Amino acid sequence: MVGPIQVAASLNPKAGPSGIMETPMVEIDRLSLWYGEKQALRDISMSVPKHRITAYIGPSGCGKTTLLRCLNRMNDLIDGVRIAGTIRLGGTDIYDPALDVTELRKRVGMVFQRSNPFPKSIFENVAYGPRILGAKGRADLDGIVERSLRAAALWEEVEDRLGESALALSGGQQQRLCIARAIAVEPDVLLMDEPCSALDPIATAKIEELMLDLKNSYTIVIVTHNMQQAARVSDYTGFMLLGELVEFGVTKELFTNPRDKRTEDYITGRFG
């Protein structure tokens, strides 16, 4: 397991402080977003480092899920969304009109707040993405499915019932299946929108453990309500409030020594 980062390292060049440099995977520059007339994100700039877990915390409605959904352009599906600023994934502007959004979503996988397996078999759930991308042949798919399920720490539990409906799985298993489905297309980044909010503590612990494994291969961005969870699993944490990114930094520092008064109030439970 990768050890916790020793030295403070805010990756935003404008914030500019000290520490080891990480490789940025996603760079967000002056991002603002409006739902119709209502502004939901205000001038956000930050970078998501490669092969790390980055968490967004903040009270309900602060825009953390909106920010997350900007990263794979899931907000495109909502009518009346307008965006200003740029987001670059590995150097490419993902809002470039010439860019194929399905190609982007293949590179940026997503796991949702409530597990949403398809009403198909376990196998078909995992094979769905690869099939869309043109994977044919049972042997290929078998390999992908097994690899993905193993990576999602679900293989042992389901290997002898791959043909059964995914809806028969428990909540925690369904969520891990969704993770397997997301990583079956081998994305670079994995977005997780409060993945444990509907799960019991044991299932939550499993998912957290899984995230720590997965960060060796994927860059993970997670939105969570649960500050303990952010503190436990993430390397970097951003605190958001009313559409602004109030503070972003190494998790340990943010929790032990917040620079902003509002961050301090939130993490000490004075509001939110």
Interface with other proteins, residue 114, by CB under 8 A: yes
Interface with other proteins, residue 222, by CB under 8 A: no
DSSP state of 62: S
Minimum distance of other proteins from residue 154's CB (angstroms): 16
| Segment lying near other proteins (by CB under 8 A), choices 28-36, 116-124, 240-248, 250-258 | 116-124
Give the x-and-dash track for 150-169 against other proteins (CB under 8 A).
Answer: ---------------xxx--
Residue with smaller CB distance to other proteins, 31 or 110: 110
Task: Rule CB under 8 A: choose which of 3, 91, 119, 163 binds other proteins.
Answer: 119
Interface with other proteins, residue 132, by CB under 8 A: yes
Interface with other proteins, residue 184, by CB under 8 A: yes
Interface with other proteins, residue 178, by CB under 8 A: yes
Contacts of 64 (CB under 8 A, 6+ apart): 56, 57, 58, 223, 238, 240
Nearest to 34 by CA among 66, 56, 58, 59: 66
Minimum distance of other proteins from residue 141's CB (angstroms): 14
Terminal-to-terminal C-alpha distance of the chain: 33
Concatenated DSSP letters for 212-264?
A: HHHTTTSEEEEE-S-HHHHHHH-SEEEEEETTEEEEEEEHHHHHHS-SSHHHH
- Please, which residues bridge with residue 56 across strands? 223, 238
Go through 225-249 and write b for each residue having 16 or more CB atoms within 10 A of its CB, e for each that does not: bebebbbbbbbbbbbbbebbbbbbb
Interface with other proteins, residue 185, by CB under 8 A: yes
- The whole-angstrom separation of Cα 67 and Cα 72 is 10
Minimum distance of other proteins from residue 101's CB (angstroms): 9
Task: Rule CB under 8 A: choose which of 41, 70, 182, 211 binds other proteins.
Answer: 182
Instruction: Tell me the site size for other proteins, rule CB under 8 A.
Output: 29
Q: What are phi and psi of 194, to 5 degrees?
A: 45, 60
Residue with smaller CB distance to other proteins, 126 or 230: 126
| Interface with other proteins (CB under 8 A) | 72, 74, 77, 79, 102-103, 105-106, 109-110, 112, 114-119, 128-129, 132-133, 165-167, 178, 181-182, 184-185
